[in-house]
Amino acid sequence: MKRAVHVANIALLMLLSACDNDQAQPEAGLMPQNAMITPADITPEMIEESQRQYAKWYAGLPKLSGKMLAQLQSIEPSNGFAGNWYPCSIELEDGSILENVYLIDGRSQENASYYGSWDQYLKNPQLSARIKAIRSSPNRLPKKHREFLYRIGESGMGYMHFTLVTNEGHEYAYTTGNFMDFMEMPDGVTYEDIKELIPHVPRRGDNRYGTLPDVKIYFQQ
């Protein structure tokens, strides 16, 4: 079971083994960055290295207080396929508010390391320590629309095409990544104006929209 769990991780852990120059040498137990890898190539040593890197990364994540964890339970996780991503709004101790935040349980990444090597994950430990409150985000796409998009799945590897149709019949083309909780909206259009979303349609409407910039904060429990 451990072998199956970590096979998907190892291709990305190869990123840890190379620097930006062509002279870089891989770490012991890992394959070169440009190597093609198949399940048959996975060795016990590579699985052990994957587990070691994950454990080291997870141990360095900031912890949320009991109060913050209780508030987090009121947030429905994203239906994105990484698991345990909580799209929310956070208030910091200085009173500032960030509306487009993913609080991410680091345990979910053991089986989904496709975002990059462990050391490259955005941990934001200073920001995590300054969280005063966790709330629902007013910028989150309504449940019926986000569940629809996540249910139909990707248009291609790592991206999604769809067309947003308003109640007035206007059409807007979108291209997004795999997480679609915080949507960029055309001027004068709100979530309440959405009539339907047409999936996997790459070109309808005059402009191309996507998702709003967000902040990702990983934590451990």
Of residues 99 and 202, more confidently modeled: 99
Q: Find the largest Cα–Cα distance for the chain.
A: 60
Q: Is the alpha carbon torsion for 106, 111, 115, 118 positive or negative?
A: positive
Q: Going along 96-159, which residue ranges are E strands?
A: 97-105, 131-135
How much is the mean pLDDT over the chain? Answer: 76
Whether residue 154 has pLDDT greater than 60: yes
What's the pLDDT score for residue 35? 52
What's the pLDDT score for residue 135? 96
Tokens of 198: 């047409």
Task: Answer whether 68's CB lies under 8 Å from 28's CB.
Answer: no
Closest CA to 162 of 151, 149, 178: 149
What's the pLDDT score for residue 7? 43
Q: Average pLDDT of 101-116? A: 67
Whether residue 67 has pLDDT greater than 80: yes
Radius of gyration of the chain (CA): 20
What's the pLDDT score for residue 123? 52
Q: Going along the chain, which residue ranges are E strands?
A: 85-92, 97-105, 131-135, 160-166, 171-176, 194-199, 208-209, 215-219
Question: pLDDT grade, residue 148 (50/70/90)?
Answer: very high
How far is Cα 45 from Cα 25, in angstroms, rounded to an integer?
A: 17
Of residues 140 and 42, more confidently modeled: 140
Task: Answer whether 88's CB lies under 8 Å from 131's CB.
Answer: no
Of residues 91 and 45, more confidently modeled: 91
In 3-state terms, what secondary structure has residue 89?
Answer: strand
Whether residue 127 has pLDDT greater than 90: no
- Report the predicted TM-score, pTM, of the whole model to 2 decimal places: 0.74
What's the pLDDT score for residue 59? 82
List helix spans (H) across 22-64.
44-59
What's the pLDDT score for residue 97? 93
Question: pLDDT grade, residue 197 (50/70/90)?
Answer: very high
